[in-house]
């Protein structure tokens, strides 16, 4: 996979490439992922895998909820099989922030 213009949330893959999303570190224990309407709750280090198809754009919304008012953090990775660029989202909560919402875009 390749990051378009270096954007970790805009990903170009190959037809049939398997994509893996995983939250690896931080204080956030669970995250909500929504891949084109299919919701999965993931625990830390629990991967979500899916395959890209040529001509089919996909979007995955990921929402991180912060329990405490400050000091929360997370780190998530998106990788492709057989390799290429790696998308890393490392985030430190701004005090008072309840959540962080991101959307990954995939295209093959």
Cβ atoms of 101 and 6 within 8 Å: the answer is no
Please give the size of the binding site for another protein, defined by CB under 8 A.
45
Note whether 94 binds another protein by CB under 8 A: yes
Say which DSSP state 37 is in. Answer: T
**Residue range at the interface with another protein (CB under 8 A); choices 12-20, 44-52, 58-66:** 58-66
**Residue range at the interface with another protein (CB under 8 A); choices 13-21, 46-54, 65-73:** 65-73
From residue 36, give the alpha-carbon distance in Å to each of 39, 65, 80, 92, 105. Answer: 8, 20, 18, 27, 10
**Residue range at the interface with another protein (CB under 8 A); choices 13-21, 47-55, 94-102:** 94-102
Least separation in angstroms between residue 45's CB and another protein is 16
Among 25, 54, 71, 86, binds another protein (CB under 8 A): 71
Cβ atoms of 7 and 102 within 8 Å: the answer is no
Least separation in angstroms between residue 41's CB and another protein is 6
Through-space distance between the first and last CA atoms of the chain, rounded to whole angstroms: 9
Using DSSP's 3-state secondary structure scheme, residue 36 falls into coil
Whole-number Å distance between alpha carbons of 6 and 10? 8
Residues that bind another protein (CB under 8 A): 3, 5-10, 27, 29-34, 36-37, 39, 41, 59, 61-63, 65, 67-71, 73, 89, 91-105
């Amino acid at each position: 996979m390749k990051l378009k213009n270096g954007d970790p949330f805009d990903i170009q893959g190959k037809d049939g490439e398997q994509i893996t999303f995983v939250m690896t570190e931080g204080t956030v224990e669970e995250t909500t992922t929504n891949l084109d309407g299919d919701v999965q709750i993931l625990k830390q280090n629990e991967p979500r895998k899916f395959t890209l198809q040529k001509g089919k754009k996909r979007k995955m919304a990921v929402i991180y909820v912060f329990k405490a008012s400050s000091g929360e953090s997370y780190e998530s990775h998106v990788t492709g099989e057989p390799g290429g660029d790696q998308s890393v989202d490392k985030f430190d909560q701004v005090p008072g922030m309840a959540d962080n919402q991101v959307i990954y875009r995939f295209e093959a």
